[in-house]
A and B are shown apart, each in its own frame.
Chain A
């Protein structure tokens, strides 16, 4: 994913020169508007798509780049949509909502990733308190999953050696005991991991690059874009 982010990035466009945090703000507003706006009547989705086309043109994203990226999503979005056409009216409507909203959100991320360097985006995310904390926790979870899978494999091997051909009841009982024991082991293991983190220099906060304050002009442009998008979404839903 990291390799894919920012691939084909062109640094010479107006959108590329905007601060990455401002672009994340604009993308957040756009995604919020897409979730808010109903698919029928079509004007809101069409207006949001038009805004995206303007942003893509200003970001000098070629039709070829957009096509290559969105083609990969055609199956993921297209197959459920095609299947939904076979169902009831309600299913068809749900399929339309899924397809239109997924395509718009995917296209918004395409514009973001094609106009932003990967490093800038990761730095911007690391500077955002909530995002950096959640992504750090997700990384710890994945590491923990590897550790626990190792524990499960070792427990399973020992179990097979101790009780080959055990009955179903014995297996269920063993699974229950092993699960509780795994919780205990996970807790004890986390104590050691915590100590190791401090020994390696963990100070209580996740490391992040110093980016400085974003330019006011960039934040203003992103805020205007996000506000327009949200106004479309709100008007379409409640207007």
Chain B
């Protein structure tokens, strides 16, 4: 395999995995809604996007985080564009996925350290994004109230991420050993 083909293969695999994880980001919320489990409670879209953060390069992970909520909004109407929940999710997921990718894949920090840190960062970013959005659009609640309400509502989703994410990342890394080897090399 020549160097150019190897590069193309690496990019193709990364894109294909990004596409698959993004597709899961579209389908999982639909599944949760069908079961009657609220998206705001279990945060189903966060799971595959965060998995993308742990398995892909920062740029690709951020792209998955940007496209998934917008595409889901266009296809299913959830999350809604007005009020700008989808836009807040774009910022929130992009920061989360990029931070996870940089910390886990680039700096090779352990999962038990990165995951809680990313969840805390998520709330901080959400507060900042809500403060900006409240200025541009009409959001009645103050940013801190919005974040506290979100945290109080979505703690099951955060717990789910803490339990399921390491399991999911390890499962994928065991099925596709290339990903773990690439992390060691980076």
Chain A complexes with chain B: yes
Q: For the complex, what is the distance from the CA of A35 to the CA of B132, rounded to whole Å? A: 12
Interface of A is mostly: helix
Interface string of B112-146 (1 = CB under 8 A from A): 00000000000000000000000011101000000
Pair count A-B, CB < 8 A: 133
Q: For the complex, what is the distance from the CA of A179 to the CA of B28, rounded to whole Å? A: 9
Would B7 and A204 count as touching, CB distance under 8 A?
yes
Interface residues in A, total, Cβ within 8 A: 43
A183-B172, A198-B5, A204-B7 in contact; A36/B19 too (CB < 8 A)? Answer: no
Q: Is A102 an interface residue (CB 8 A)?
A: yes
Would B18 and A137 count as touching, CB distance under 8 A?
yes
Which residues of A, 145-180, contact B by the 8 Å Cβ criterion? 145, 147-149, 152, 179-180
Would A184 and B171 count as touching, CB distance under 8 A?
yes
Interface string of B45-81 (1 = CB under 8 A from A): 0001001000100000001101110010000000000
Q: For the complex, what is the distance from the CA of A49 to the CA of B157, rounded to whole Å? A: 44
Among A93, A141, A181, max chain B CB count under 10 A is at A141
Interface string of A188-220 (1 = CB under 8 A from B): 111101110110001110000000000000000
Please list 23 pairs of residues, one from A and one from B, whose beta carbons are closer than 8 Å in the complex, sorted by A's number.
A35-B136, A133-B63, A134-B67, A137-B63, A140-B18, A140-B22, A141-B68, A142-B71, A144-B19, A144-B20, A145-B23, A147-B20, A148-B27, A149-B27, A179-B164, A180-B164, A184-B175, A190-B20, A194-B13, A194-B14, A197-B16, A198-B12, A204-B4
